[in-house]
Amino acid sequence: MNDLMQYIKRVSKATDETLEKLLPPETSYPCSIHKLMRYSTFAGGKRVRPCLLMASYEACGGNFGDQKALAASAALEMFHTFSLIHDDLPCMDDDDFRRGKPTAHKAFSEALAVLGGDALCIAAFEILASIGRVDIVSEMARALGTSGMLGGQVVDIESEGKTVTRETVEYIHHNKTAALICSSVRIGAMLAGASDEVMKNLTSYGNNVGLAFQVVDDILDEESTTEQLGKEAGKDRERGKATYPSVCGLEESKRYARELTDLAWKDISFLGSKGKILHDMAEYIITRIS
Amino acid sequence: MNDLMQYIKRVSKATDETLEKLLPPETSYPCSIHKLMRYSTFAGGKRVRPCLLMASYEACGGNFGDQKALAASAALEMFHTFSLIHDDLPCMDDDDFRRGKPTAHKAFSEALAVLGGDALCIAAFEILASIGRVDIVSEMARALGTSGMLGGQVVDIESEGKTVTRETVEYIHHNKTAALICSSVRIGAMLAGASDEVMKNLTSYGNNVGLAFQVVDDILDEESTTEQLGKEAGKDRERGKATYPSVCGLEESKRYARELTDLAWKDISFLGSKGKILHDMAEYIITRIS
């Protein structure tokens, strides 16, 4: 996995440099919201989505670090950060810490966290539009909306404290988490001009990796300490969240994460050695628990 | 003004029919968020932005009711509704009523109001993208972001209870309200393929009308009853909001609204009779106080 760690570092660096350029400076009026946008975006995320986008872009013939791919990567991180800021609000998951730092509404204010989340979402659409590809704007809006991320988010909130079926958990995770991860992979391929057949396989890969990512997150919430997570551990259980471990137990959750990774690998076997980074990314996501 | 009232009715009807088609049905899973999106969008707004868009589109040679102009009008109302839902939240203006009906977080929940606002914003971008004009997506994102509506919103919140200058009130109103109204006029012209020169004049018109709209709103908050407004009257003063009447008094505010309307009329004088509806719209906005 040494190659992959190098790759993640390179993508993170390039994405952060792009975000640095594209986000409004903290000194720009009104300063408070621009400070919040940068505070949350540079809070130490692993840049998983940019890595998947760039790996997919390269696997389909794009060149590492092309401007359009970097702009799309930066936009994806901003959409992701927007969702985290709103997720953490007192009326939602009510989290005080994220990645070991106070959440946006704690470090600033609730009003500014609502507006700062909105601002990141809107600025990210502006960046996507600047790429000049209206199909990518559509793709992203679909992945984020009520038939994607926000739909999953609603059912997640509404399922709290209730007994839910495995199908409901699958719906939540498929939409809340996998939709945006899958779009990262798809947008990389779209930018590189991939064929419909390639797109179909990469979409399946993205969904499997995205689901695996959330199953692993659920497992980590049960098995890790607060220090390891950078946020309060065991909070899912405490709040009665609909998670895989809560509906099928830890062992079955681990088996399922493994199965999803195997399926993801099959999806990209057609890429041969060009799919190495995508292969290793799938492995990387699951090794967080092994 | 009889012609204008007919025009407003026609645009409202066409916009509402388009919204009816484009918004996800209430029966679509997860139902709660789709109910909220429709509840707030169909809460009885005056559809001022769609009227300005369509009037500008027609003045520049477009045909009433063209599909792209209607889709953009629907998107504008959704962006506007998104901003109202988040504005009304307890951590923001904390309003219980809007247009005589309970606000979204009162009728549903705070969590759903945050997510429902997000969902309207994202769905509106999806609709704009479906028009196929990436320049219109950019235009809209700029008008909504921190150098537009959200910037005004931040300074509005942060100015509460403070003594502010007329320049600060101007900044707030120019961004919080006028940016989106100005974009309505601009997008109509962009869809009709207006020249740079026409665009410049219509941009000035849009800014003047947008500012006048907010000055009038400030005056109405001071002079109307709660029944007339459909929301609690006198609330701006109670919360120490930065308004025109608070920094320059009622008489000067009325004079200024009149001046802005005259300026708006000058901006569109080049249109001659083709600018009749835009002319009457500017008058309509100010007659709410006369």
| pLDDT tens-digit series, residues A229-241 | 677 777 888 889 9
B88 neighbourhood in chain A, CB within 8 Å:
none
Confidence of residue A272 (pLDDT cuts 50, 70, 90): very high
Across the interface, of A91, A111, A147, the residue whose CB is closest to B157 is A111
Q: What number of other Cβ atoms are within 10 A of residue A44's Cβ?
A: 10
pLDDT computed for residue B253 by the predictor: 95
pLDDT (tens place) for every residue of chain B, 290 residues total: 679 999 999 999 999 999 999 999 999 999 999 999 999 999 988 899 999 999 999 999 999 999 999 999 999 999 999 999 999 999 999 999 998 899 999 999 999 999 999 999 999 999 999 999 999 999 999 999 999 999 999 999 999 999 999 999 999 999 999 999 999 999 999 999 999 999 999 999 999 999 999 999 999 988 877 777 677 777 888 888 999 999 999 999 999 999 999 999 999 999 999 999 999 999 999 987 65
B130 neighbourhood in chain A, CB within 8 Å:
138
d(CA B182, CA B210): 6
| CA neighbor of B211 nearest in space, from B169, B163, B270 | B169
Does A129 contact B134 at a Cβ distance shorter than 8 Å?
yes
Q: Which residues of B44-83 are buried (b: 16+ CB within 10 A; e: fewer)?
A: ebebbbbbbbbbbbbbbebeebeebbbbbbbbbbbbbbbb
The predicted model scores a pTM of 0.96
Spatial contact of B165 and B30, defined as CB atoms under 8 Å apart: no
Identify residue A123 by its one-letter amino acid code. Answer: A
d(CA A139, CA B67): 21
Spatial contact of A191 and A133, defined as CB atoms under 8 Å apart: yes
pLDDT computed for residue A2 by the predictor: 78
Residue A290 has pLDDT above 60, yes or no: no
Q: What SS3 state is found at A179?
A: helix
- Rg of chain A in Å (alpha carbons): 18
Domain residue limits, chain B = 2-287
pLDDT computed for residue A232 by the predictor: 72
- Give B86's Cβ-side CA count (13 Å radius): 30
- Compute φ and ψ for A98, nearest 5 degrees: -150, 125
pLDDT computed for residue A289 by the predictor: 61
**CB distance from B115 to chain A under 8 Å?**
yes
CA-CA-CA-CA dihedral for B141, B147, B148, B151, to nearest 10:
120
d(CA B60, CA B49): 17
Q: What number of other Cβ atoms are within 10 A of residue B163's Cβ?
A: 10
pLDDT computed for residue B236 by the predictor: 87
**CB distance from A145 to chain B under 8 Å?**
yes
| pLDDT tens-digit series, residues A17-41 | 999 999 999 999 999 999 999 999 9
Average pLDDT of chain A? 95
B115 neighbourhood in chain A, CB within 8 Å:
86, 150, 153-154, 157
- Give A106's Cβ-side CA count (13 Å radius): 12
ipTM given for this complex: 0.96
* Number of residues that this document lists for chain B: 290
For A97, the enclosing helix (H) or strand (E) is: strand A97-98
Nearest-CA distance B196 → chain A (Å): 20
Spatial contact of A144 and A150, defined as CB atoms under 8 Å apart: yes
Q: What SS3 state is found at A233?
A: coil
Q: Which two tokens stand for residue B78?
A: 């959704």
In eight-state DSSP terms, residue B272 is: G
The mean per-residue pLDDT over the stretch A190-203 comes to 98
Does B154 contact A114 at a Cβ distance shorter than 8 Å?
no
Q: Which two tokens stand for residue A168?
A: 């409901």
| CA neighbor of B203 nearest in space, from B254, B256, B263 | B263
- With both helix axes pointing from N to C terminus, report the angle between B134-144 and A110-131 in degrees, rounded to the nearest 10: 160
> What fold does the segment set B2-287 form as a domain?
Farnesyl Diphosphate Synthase (1.10.600)
**CB distance from A160 to chain B under 8 Å?**
no
Q: Which residues of A113-150 are buried (b: 16+ CB within 10 A; e: fewer)?
A: bbbbbbbbbbbbbbbbbbbebbebbbbbbbbbbbbbbb
Does B134 contact A138 at a Cβ distance shorter than 8 Å?
no
Spatial contact of B65 and B53, defined as CB atoms under 8 Å apart: no
d(CA B16, CA B73): 10
Q: Which residue of A has its CA nearest to B37?
A: A146
Residue A246 has pLDDT above 80, yes or no: yes
Across the interface, of A33, A153, A157, the residue whose CB is closest to B146 is A33
